[in-house]
Amino acid sequence: MAPSFHEFDLIQWIREQCPNSKANLIGIGDDTAILQPPLNSEMLFATDMLMEGTHFTFPPATPERAGRKALAVNLSDIAAMAGQPHSALISLALPKSKGPEFAKAVMQGIINLAKEFQIQLIGGDTNSWDGPLVINVAIIGTAPQSKSVKRPGAMPGDWIFVTGELGGSLPDHHLSFTPRIHEASTLNQTVSLHSMIDISDGLASDLNHILRESNVGAILDATTIPISNRISADEPKQTRLQHALSDGEDFELLFTVSPEDGKQLLNQNPLSIKLTHIGEVTSRQTAFLQHPDGSQTSLEDSGWKHEL
């Protein structure tokens, strides 16, 4: 659709903020962007849409932080494949009542994070309507041929690891987290990653995605789950654990490796963030949580559910 005058101004402004920084690429300004696939690479594509009222609310979000989150969640998907982000397309449904400064602020949040991760904005679409803010990002990434890490691939005996700390992502962390692009790439160069996912729905739910795709089960040691200090220490232990298992929007990496590689990671963590061994993959196709008293409970799909 032809953009209104303000939208035309906005696109011109975006173009000035994002000069082409990559070779073999035509970005904003034509009917489509064009890019030459890098030699000996596979290309990764993902898209994620964020809606005001569901994925963020004003406050605690600001227009910048909402824009930042929209790109960051897409970066997290590229990280989960151990890919490098390359470029992105941004589609906005802007509330008519908010005006051009609001639109610029949303784009500024996106542009700042794009620069941090050297991502070229190569296009998008800009519309306004009477509804709330909707931001869709389509991201393109690359990985060396057959080097991206998929969900299937977990094997009985594998050790299960998680980066960072889990739980309590609302109200702030989901707006300010660092996508684990560099960490995933370092891990992929250090060990053989059998399977990987980013934690968006919650540890319990996302581990189940890996397990189902790999036709295996798991046993997690409840005492090792890294519970974030974002969750109050005053909460009962069981409640804190439940938050870490199922709050979601942690955007940490969950992955499995052979025990040998697992030992190497424990001996010398190549990351500058916490890396925790939380359990093992089993051939029984169910997932259990092992408690300190020796009892085991089923790790149900207790993650955050998208409201449809």
**Of residues 114 and 257, the one with the C-beta less far from ligand ADP:** 114
**Of residues 17 and 264, the one with the C-beta less far from ligand ADP:** 17
**Of residues 33 and 265, the one with the C-beta less far from ligand ADP:** 33
Query: Distance between CA atoms of 87 and 56, rounded to whole angstroms?
Result: 24
Q: Which does 195 bind (CB under 5 to 8 A by kind): Mg ion, ligand ADP, none?
A: none
Q: Does residue 123 touch ligand ADP according to CB under 6 A? A: yes
Query: Distance between CA atoms of 264 and 185, rounded to whole angstroms?
Result: 16
Among residue numbers 187 through 216, which ones bind Mg ion (CB under 5 A)? none
**Of residues 137 and 245, the one with the C-beta less far from ligand ADP:** 137
Q: Name every residue whose Cβ is closer than 8 Å to that of residue 98 and which is 6 or more positions away in sequence.
A: 133
Take residue 170 and report the two structure tokens written for it. 């609302």
Q: Cα Rg for the chain, rounded, in angstroms?
A: 21
* 3-class state of residue 281 by DSSP: strand
What does the DSSP 8-state code read for residue 170? T
- Given the rule CB under 6 A, which of 28-36, 216-224, 253-261, 276-284 is the region that contacts ligand ADP? 28-36
Query: Distance between CA atoms of 104 and 288, rounded to whole angstroms?
Result: 48
Q: How far is the CB of 233 from ligand ADP (least distance, A)?
A: 43
Query: Distance between CA atoms of 88 and 45, rounded to whole angstroms?
Result: 10
In 3D space, the residue among 247, 248, 152 whose CA is nearest the CA of residue 209 turns out to be 152
**Of residues 8 and 305, the one with the C-beta less far from ligand ADP:** 8
Query: Distance between CA atoms of 241 and 249, rounded to whole angstroms?
Result: 16
Take residue 228 and report the two structure tokens written for it. 């974030």
Out of 42, 125, 221, 301, the only residue in the binding site for Mg ion (CB under 5 A) is: 125
Q: Which does 70 bind (CB under 5 to 8 A by kind): Mg ion, ligand ADP, none?
A: none
Q: Does residue 11 touch ligand ADP according to CB under 6 A? A: yes
Q: Which does 95 bind (CB under 5 to 8 A by kind): Mg ion, ligand ADP, none?
A: none
Q: Which residues are part of a known binding site for Mg(2+)? A: 31, 47-48, 77, 125, 198, 201
Interacting residues with ligand ADP (CB under 6 A): 3, 11, 14, 28-31, 90, 92, 121, 123-126
